Every structure is written in structure tokens, then in C-alpha cells.
Structure 1
Amino acid sequence: MASPREEKNTVIGQYNIREIIGYGSFGCVKLAHHRLTDTTVAVKVLSKKELRSHDLENEVDIVKSVHHPHIIRLFQVTEDEHCVYLVTELATWGHLWEYINKSPCSRLFEFEAKRLFRQITSAVRYLHENGIVHLDLKADNVLLDTNHNVKVSDFGLSIRVTPGQLVKGVCGALIFRPPEVFLYNMFDGYKVDTWDLGILLYMMTTGKFPFEGNKMIQIENKILEARYTGPLYLSAMGRDLLSKLLTVHFNQRPAIKKIMQHPWLALGVGFGLLPDEPLPSKLDPIIVTVVCDMGYSVVGIEKAIQGREFNEAMGTYLLMQEHFKENASSVEPKTMPLPNPPCPTPEDNPTSPLPARKNATFSAPSNAFSLPSEFQFPLKRTRSASLPVLLLYTLQSSSSSFIWGPDSFSWSGTLDSFHSVENALPSGHPQGEAIAPRWNIRQGWRRVANRIVSIRRICCCVKAPE
């Protein structure tokens, strides 16, 4: 079999693997297309032949356990006889070094550097608080998404450590290695990440590396002495933080919490940070409905999410969740005043086919999917209002329904012939070709998803008169 670098346009599960778009510590990263959700993702390919089983298992374990808004998001882990594939979100703006080079002055203005550096530091703090050291924080491993927000990636060299534990071995690129790596066999992994943050801060504000030379011995000597030219375009507080990060003696470097509290970063709590979005503990019934029509079962989806299995069912659910989030955020919700009355009523228009108006009540057809309470209009009993009836029909004419509980939901009812016993597959697996005649995956779910998003926007925008 060809090596991962030579493979082109291969099919792995529900993914069409395409060209190489980057390289990690122990594997290449390829562009891929998820056929069921019509989503473009990135796939890191790890060769079982080239990697020791311990190193491979270590990286998979870490990427499964981390979840932070500024760490690249994992959707699915799959494998075949030769490779393990880590399916992640696609950072469309490339890595940090490309972003710096594309800037007008080949460097970042201090405001932008501060925003990105705070995001990087936030991700590193999350790792350190969970006993993980990255050990390879270089510009190529700091990616940017569509909105130019940081996504730390590549955990090929990362390890779990306990407070005070020293580590040994190779850590990252030469120009990012701290002095202790050249001097000692054992070093503090947390302080290695701190030094790397200093290198990144210098790069962002100058567009250059702090320690440069024509030969390796020249670079090493400059690193051992921490000899560099101070950035001209960085404020006094920024230079103070930089000098603390690029300290020769690792014991004198600040811990990650102290870095976040530095005046240069502490101005404006939450400055530039995305809100934390934990993995779902409760399933969204609308997303579940769409994913079930792709051939997965509710039980399989719920089991995969709760067990963090990162299998096909969980990957499809998370990709659909991303689609809904992107579409919902594309339009900013606004409160729009409605005329009084909001629409013609049978009393005002004798030719209207609608029944007589009632006080803030309406009846929906039996095959309508009732919106959860948070999407319903809060109407006072003492007032009356004529509101448009928002009906969300189920994807199919079936008697199935959701039963809500305090922490989750269950599925009840009978399924139609589309989910009949003859067409059923084991839990968690798509039905493949059996779906095609009944459901056009690429077009069908997108139409339904867009209608759902439109309804959600209306629910956020329309406000009943008080």
C-alpha cells in the first residue's frame, strides 16, 4: 500500500480523502469531504507502520480528551489496517506564520497580536490545568479559522505530566527549543510551553524569529544567552511580558496563570476569547431527526456522545451541529417591532379563510413537531395577539415523537417502511444505498436544516406586543 503522502482521493468510511494540505509531527494532514453532511474537514493521517503504538495511542487519547474553543475540534477517529485518521475541523485561514506574512507590514499590530496571543495562552492554560504539556507550540501548529480565531493543533509530541515531574526527549523545532533542552537531559515541560509562548509573541510583533543565525551553533549560543533585539513596535508592558517569557532559567519563568494575569493581557477580562462550548450532554432533537434520516439510531447517537466514542454516529452529529451553528450565527438576531395588529384577522378581513381569532392560542396539526419551550412565544393571558403559526413538520410522515425528560429524551412511536426491519442496519451505521431512493442526502437535509434555521431566527426576531 502507498504511504500517506502518496495516496490521493481515497475513500475512508464516509470521507473522500483528497490532497495534502499540511504536515504534523508524525503524519500529514489532508483535505477531506464528508459525504453525508456535505462538509469539508481536515484529516490527520497517522501511519501505524511508522509510529510506535504507544505514541499513536498517546496522541489519540489526548485529542479525544481535550475540548476548548481555541483548540482544534475533533469530530471523529477512524482507522483501517494501515493508518489511524483524526477528523478535525478545517482551519480555513491556515497557520499563524502565513497570517503574519500576509499582513501589510509582515507583522501584526499590537492590538491584533494581543488578541491572538491571549487566545493561544488560554488554550495552553486549559492544557496545563488538565495535566497536558504541548511541547511543540510553533507557528505552524497555531491555526486560524474563518473568523481569524486561534485553533491550537498537532498533539503528536504532547504528553501528560504531574506537577513537578520532569520530562526528557526532543521537543519541537530547533528555533523554538528553550535553553534547558540544550543543557540538561531532563526539563520541565510546562516551562517549555512558556518559552514557546515568548517565541510566538516575538514573531507576531516583529515578523521575525528572535534567535537567528547561519549555523546551528550560532542559534544555540543566542538561545543559551537569551540574546535578542527587543521589538520596536511593542509597548513597554508587552516588552516586560516578553522578557519574562524568554528567561534563561526556567524556574524564573512565570506559570501560565501568572501570564494570563500580566497587565498586558489582563486589561479587559475575556478580551478576544471565544465562549466555551462543552461537548453536548443533551441531544438536540432537531439535529437527531436529521442524523437519524441518514441511517443512524437515536440510541447509537446518544451512546456515542455520552461515551465520547468519536465514531461515525458522533462525527455526523457534531458536523451537523457545526452546520446549524454557522447558519444561526450568519444573521444577527434583532428585535423587530410589529404593527398592531401584526397581520389581518378574520374580524378585520371578512374574506379571510382563517377561523375566528382566539386569545393567544392556536391548535397545530397532529403531524407538526412542537417547538421546545425556549422557542415558543411568551404571551400574557390578559392580552391577545395574532401571531403567525410556526409549524415545523417532521422529515417524514411517521408517528414517532420525542419524549423529554430532565436530562435527556427518548424516542417513541412506530417508524414507517423507511426504517423497516428489512432495511435496518446495526446501531450506529448508515443505511447506505437504502436511503438514496427515499432521501436525497445532500439536498434534502440542507433544505430542512435551512428551514429550521429560518424558524429559529424568526423566533429570535419576532416579539409579541405587550
Structure 2
Amino acid sequence: MDSVCFTTAQRMSCKMMNPDLFKSSQPAVKPNRSKSEHVKTELAQVVVDAKTGRSYCKGKLLGKGGFARCYEMTDISNNKMYAVKVIPQSRVSKPHQREKIINEIELHKSLQHKHVVKFSHHFEDQDNIYIFLELCSRKSLAHIWKARHTLTDPEVRYYLRQIISALKYLHNKGILHRDLKLGNFFINENMELRLGDFGLAAKLETVEQRKKTICGTPNYLAPEVLNRQGHGTESDVWSLGCVMYTLLCGNPPFETLDLKETYKCIKEVRFSLPSSLTPSAQKLISAVLQKNPCDRLTLDQILAHDYFTKASTPEKLPPSSCVMVPELNPPTVEKTPCEEKDDISKLVSGMVKHSIGRQMSYKTMGVNEATSPTVQLASSGPLDTPAEEESRKSASRSFKGTVASSTDGSDDIPSPSAIAESAMKLLNSCLSSMPAASRNPPCLSKTKPFIWVTKWVDYSNKYGFGYQLSNQNVGVLFNEGTHLSLCDQKRTVRYCLTNNKHFSFPADALPEKLQSQKHIVDLMANYMEQNLMEGGEINCEDQTSATSSPLLLQWIKTDHALVMLFDNQTLQVNFYTDHTKIILCKSSGSSYLLTFISKERVSYSYPLSMLSEWGCSAELRQRLQYVVQLLQHYTNA
């Protein structure tokens, strides 16, 4: 909501993370605050504009940033809904802070364009300033990117045309946005894009008069901004090129593990163009990401590029494209069951190509991960379109009266965010109290049995995320949020809807509606069995005495690690470069067990309390710190 210039603490917080990865549509919270600023007064359920007498009912939290939170609010008199930016008066107590907010309000108030978030009105009381904006119910491109990882060329053209339209409008008015990124492109109910967040926007100045402040989002900053030559319209064009690259490739072009290295790559314009990009996309990105601002294409030249002129742009995208690849072609003749079976049988060869094409040879390296690091988040959380809701109800109805046993979605099942927050607090507490040490403490010779992921395959570009557990059960979390697993030596099928309602079937009495999904799970299971090695061995007591298989609630991929969150509160993190793993799980009561699997695939298990008391090696401590930071970004979203 309010991106700011980088402090030393912020630079440190960015060093190991992609800043867009787990945040909501709003930028990260500034870490440097006085103690008084941490005290937050709860926003009243009903807010009243004293001047007009209108009352507004507070709804759900939409996002939060450094200076403000954004809530859904409803005008009680007419039920009109808004996205309301709420800024505490305590955060604008200094003159320059208030001036910044006033400038943002005045600038945004002056904008009227189809692809710019509409400004409605604002007022303040003794506690807060309230800025009422157009509500974009489908959140932002950041949310779509997290769910989809990559978009197709027609989708990217669809969004870029709207972004360029908004940018041309701003630039013609002499305004620079200065913080173009996925989280600032909002999507309304009709799948139309709106450019928002003008907290860093500024008037276009001459080269000599430009402010030399480095501000914006690290991965999207232009070389001239880093070199303190100031922002120009060309700087916004550079950010647009980074946005295009991110949507097509799945990660920003200059993203690295270290912020200094990222800045170095930007200054040297050092990035790679994946062979998966079309030639016209490669040429356009290269023509935009030019070091010299004068050499970059203008917005009009971008629209005149072959990428746009020699390929079609859809007039509209379906809401389903927020979570899955849309069908943009005219409907085809319905396929026969035989043809459908032939199509799905192509999954195996496609999976092999997908896996081999995105990693170093896994047979040579002996790794169990089937893809290289990317950035993606997938969840079994509910989807909110009417069609998907009806689909879930239909599926639920179709299972009633079968031989399935079912359980209603339980309130006892923790949410992924609750699990992540709990793990973050546990690890943070452990790290803060552990003494300095050069080695790990003695590990347990044997642990109580627990379930962990031994193999996985990411085929989410088409179907979903597959994994094999240490008890040999296999599951797939499908892209649309449902989950199907084969248990008890594949004799039992467990199926979970996005509302957490569970069904259990004998494998030989599976409803017809689930046969296709089971077939995909079978194919992924066979692929993992034939091509992937076990992720290591853990010396447990009799594995058969372990509790029933946990359910994968969410998986998260960064460029450096895969994170998996399970309904039994187990957290597993797999690091790509050396194939080490960290598993945090409950051992008994309120006790937790932490298991570290080394690059030699040897496991070491410790009670978390022991690590807290004895300390650990720098190798393990560094990984724990990374996990904590990753979870912090996730829980702040």
C-alpha cells in the first residue's frame, strides 16, 4: 500500500527473499518502529463520517502495508462496497508523513481512467484517515501469479494492454507510478485490470530536477534508479518489462538470493531468457530491458511489436483463469471416453519432458526433486467463484449414497497460515534462545514414527503437485484445490474437497467422477517410483505404528526451497542446491521434534528444546533462519 525507500533493516530483510513472494497486494511492513507504534487499536466494526453522517460496516481485511491496512467496507445506507485504506493518525503525526498521504490523496483524486483504481472519497476521525477506493474483488495479479506460477502469452497480452493503457494516461499527465509490480495491478469482478497504489507516484521532472532517491520494489528497479539518476517514464517501462518476464517465466528476471547481487545483475542487465519463451516474447523483453533508458522501447512501440501485432489478444478472460489455464479457443467436439483416455495417458511422457527439462539430470545427481527452483504457491483452500462453489456442491451430492464413508469439514483442521505462524514462532523462539555452538548436539538414536515426504513431482502447469510419503501413500493436490490420495497399499482412496469435507472409498468402488483424477495420481505414483530416489532415511521406531497419513494443505516454492504444510501441523522444507531437508513435527503433547537430513541423505533428529538449550551448527542455524524469514513473509501476506 505504501512502499517506501529502503532502510538498512529493510535491505537485510530482502536479502534472502523475493519481496513479492508472500505479501498480499500491499508492500511489506517497515521493520523499524518505535514500541509505541506497535500498539494497534482495533478498528471499530462501524465507522462514521461525521460530516456526512454516513456509516460504514467493516468487512474482511484485504491487505496490509507499512503505513496502512486495507479493509472491505460497506455503506450501510445503500450496501455499496469499497476497498478502504485505513491509516492510523499515529503513523502520520509528523508533518512530512501527513504531507505524503495528502499528496497521494490529491494525486489519486485527480485520476479518472478505465484501468486506474477509482478514487471515491476520504475522511478522517481522531484515530484514522480513511481512503475509499474501488473494490477489486479478484484481488491482484500477484494472487493470480501465486496460484498459476506462469501465464500464457494471450493472457499476458490481455493484461499488458490494459497496463499500458493506464501508463500512457499517467505519463501523458506527467505522472510516474514508480512502483509497478504484480501486487499493484488489481482485478475486478469482470476480470478487468486496474492500476493502483500511488504512494510512490510523483510528477515527472526534468533530468536535472529528478529526485535521486532509490525507492520501489527491488526486483523491478531500473538501472538508472539504482545509479541515482532518478526516475523517468523509461523507468516505468523497465518495470513493465520485469512484470512481463515474471508472468511468462514464473520469477523476476534479476531475482537472486542476495539483494546486493540482485542490484548488481540489474546494473549489468544480466538475466537469462528461457527457451520456453516464444521468439517474439524474447525479442520484446530484450528490447525493453535495455540498460540505457533511451534505448528502451516506448509504450507505443511495445504495442506495435510483433508480440502484439502478430498474435491475438482475448477480449476477455474467464474468472477460472485466476487459478487455472483458461480455454481460450472455440469449444471442440466432445471427446469420446476412448479419446479422453488417450489424452490423459500422454501425462507420463509429458511429465518426463517437464521434469528433465527443468532440472539437472536427476539420475546423475541422484536427487528426489523433479523440478528446479521456481516460485509458486498452491493451496487446498476454497475457491470463491460461483461456478466452482456449485461444482463442489455437485461433487458432494454425487458421493452421497455410495459406499464412501465421509466426514464433514472440521473446524479443528488448522489453516495453512495458522500452521506456518505456529512453526515460525517455535523456530524463532528456538533461534533466539539457543547459545552459539560450532556443532549440533547428540541426536536421538531412534524417534517416534512420523510421516514425511520422500519424493515429489511438480506438474502444476497442467494438473497439480504429487508427492509420496514415508509410509508409501501417494497424494496429489490438484490445481483447483481438491486432493486425492492412495492409501493402505493403494487399496483405499481418500478424497478431500476444497471445503475440507473428506471421503474414503475402496479403490475398486470409486465413483466414476473420480476415475480421471485417480488415473493422474496413479501415473504420478508410477513416475516417482520409476524415476526418483528416496529423499533419505529416518531411523524411526516401527513405522506401522504411525498415525494416519497427514493431508497436504499447501505447498510453496521459492527459488531456493520447497515448503510443505500438513494438516497434522508438520512442516517440511526441502532445499534445492544441496538437497538438505528440515522437518518440524509434533512428537508428544506440546513437544516438537526437528529432523535435519544432510546432503549425504543422513538424518539427525533433535527435540526442539534440546536445540534451544545446546545450540547448533552454523549450517543448520542458517537454514532455520531462512525458514523463519520465509514463514514471516508468508504469514504477513
Structure 2 residues without counterparts, runs of 5 or longer: 1-36, 50-54, 318-637
Alpha-carbon RMSD: 2.6
Deviation at 1:53, TM superposition (A): 2.4
CA distance in 1, matches of 2:276, 2:162: 21
1:3-38 Cα distance to aligned partner (Å, 9 max, x none): 677425241332112342113464221111111111
Higher strand share: 2
Match of 2:105 in 1: 60
Out of 263, 269, 278, which is 1:220 matched to? 263
Match of 1:28 in 2: 69
Is the counterpart of residue 187 in structure 1 residue 230 in structure 2?
yes
Is the counterpart of residue 174 in structure 1 residue 210 in structure 2?
no
* Segment drifting more, 212-221 vs 262-271: 262-271
Letter in 1 for 2:56: Y
1:307-333 Cα distance to aligned partner (Å, 9 max, x none): xxxxxxxxxxxxxxxxxxxxxxxxxxx
Aligned residue for 1:38, secondary structure, equals coil
Aligned residue for 1:85, secondary structure, equals strand
Q: Contact 1:20–1:28 (CA<8 Å) still a contact in 2?
A: yes
Percent of residue pairs bearing the same amino acid type: 27
CA distance in 1, matches of 2:145, 2:103: 32
**TM (normalized to structure 2)?**
0.40
CA distance in 2, matches of 1:167, 1:65: 22
Q: Contact 2:211–2:231 (CA<8 Å) still a contact in 1?
A: yes
Out of 57, 61, 67, which is 1:16 matched to? 57
Aligned residue for 2:90, secondary structure, equals coil
Deviation at 1:235, TM superposition (A): 2.1
Aligned residue for 2:58, secondary structure, equals strand
Structure 1 residues without counterparts, runs of 5 or longer: 275-466
1:372-420 Cα distance to aligned partner (Å, 9 max, x none): xxxxxxxxxxxxxxxxxxxxxxxxxxxxxxxxxxxxxxxxxxxxxxxxx
Match of 2:86 in 1: 45
Match of 2:279 in 1: 236
**TM (normalized to structure 1)?**
0.54
Deviation at 1:126, TM superposition (A): 0.7
Match of 1:313 in 2: none
Q: Contact 2:191–2:316 (CA<8 Å) still a contact in 1?
A: no
Deviation at 1:156, TM superposition (A): 0.5
Match of 1:87 in 2: 132
Match of 2:114 in 1: 69
Deviation at 1:268, TM superposition (A): 8.2
Matched residues, number: 271
Deviation at 1:109, TM superposition (A): 0.7
CA distance in 2, matches of 1:56, 1:267: 43
CA distance in 1, matches of 2:40, 2:197: 17
Is the counterpart of residue 118 in structure 1 residue 161 in structure 2?
yes
Residues 233, 50 of structure 1: CA spacing in aligned structure 2 closer, same or farther, 3 A cutoff?
same
Match of 1:154 in 2: 197
Residues 269, 168 of structure 1: CA spacing in aligned structure 2 closer, same or farther, 3 A cutoff?
farther
Residues 40, 146 of structure 1: CA spacing in aligned structure 2 closer, same or farther, 3 A cutoff?
same
Q: Contact 1:24–1:156 (CA<8 Å) still a contact in 2?
A: no
Deviation at 1:196, TM superposition (A): 0.8
1:67-90 Cα distance to aligned partner (Å, 9 max, x none): 111111122222223432111121
Residues 159, 271 of structure 1: CA spacing in aligned structure 2 closer, same or farther, 3 A cutoff?
farther
CA distance in 2, matches of 1:27, 1:189: 27
Q: Contact 1:25–1:154 (CA<8 Å) still a contact in 2?
A: no
Higher radius of gyration, 1 or 2: 1
Deviation at 1:203, TM superposition (A): 1.0
CA distance in 2, matches of 1:28, 1:264: 38
Q: Contact 2:104–2:199 (CA<8 Å) still a contact in 1?
A: yes
Residues 226, 63 of structure 1: CA spacing in aligned structure 2 closer, same or farther, 3 A cutoff?
same
